[in-house]
Structures are given as C-alpha cells and as structure tokens.
Amino acid sequence: GQQVMQIPQYQHVQEGEDFTTYCNSSTTLSNIQWYKQRPGGHPVFLIQLVKSGEVKKQKRLTFQFGEAKKNSSLHITATQTTDVGTYFCAGSRSRGGATNKLIFGTGTLLAVQP
C-alpha cells in the first residue's frame, strides 16, 4: 500500500539554526499537506500544496512540493523554541473523483535548545 516516509525522525537544533524535514511518498500524490503536533497535543493543519513544483511560504516556514509530486519538504529559518513539535506531512491520491483519506508520514520531531 501507499507509504509516506519522513527524514530525519528526530532533529535537535540550537535556537536560531535552520531546520528541514523531507517527505517521500511511494506513489504520486494529488496534494501534500503539512501538520504540526505539539507534545501532548493534536495535529494542527499548516498548509496544502497541490501543484507540481509549488513553493509556499508562511513567515519563517517554506514548503515545497516536488516536480514529480512524490516528495515535499518543510524548511524553518531561524528556529525558535515555539517551533518545538512533530511535523507530519500527509498525502492523498485522487481516484477519478472519489474521495480519499490522508496518509500521514512518519513525522519529524524537532527539539529546539534555547
């Protein structure tokens, strides 16, 4: 079945350093979404990318969707302690108009040392 992997599993950075997590799907996706989950919390939707090669920015966060629509990345510039949490990518495949559930990636846990 469809698999979505993320690397790294865990990243520890000093506050102010940059951070990147990579997401790879075994199948072509119709869209990719990113979620953030704080420790003990629930996933919160960040953004959706739909077009091949699309790049979107949210303040210090930059999201990319690969040309083949099978991979994506999230880059955080100058991390802050508030960025701590697990970042999940999630993808879905369109099937001739039928609805589809999201398959979540394995997640990257980000720790930020002040």
From 27, 8, 19, 37, select the one nearest 100 (Cα to Cα): 27
Amino acid, res. 6: Q
Which pair of structure tokens corresponds to residue 90?
């999630």
Token readout for 30 is 């119709």
State the Cα–Cα distance between residues 50 and 55, nearest whole angstrom.
Answer: 10
Give least dist CB 16 to another protein, A.
27
What is the smallest separation between the CB atom of 21 and another protein, expressed in angstroms? 13
CB of residue 78 to another protein, shortest distance in Å = 26
Minimum gap (Å) between residue 71 Cβ and another protein: 17
Residues that bind another protein (CB under 8 A): 31, 33, 35, 41-45, 48, 88, 90, 92, 99-107
Of 76 and 103, CB closest to another protein: 103
Closer residue to another protein (CB): 50 or 78:
50
Based on CB atoms, which residue is closest to another protein, 38 or 57? Answer: 38
Q: Which of 7, 20, 18, 9 is nearest to 78 (CA)?
A: 18
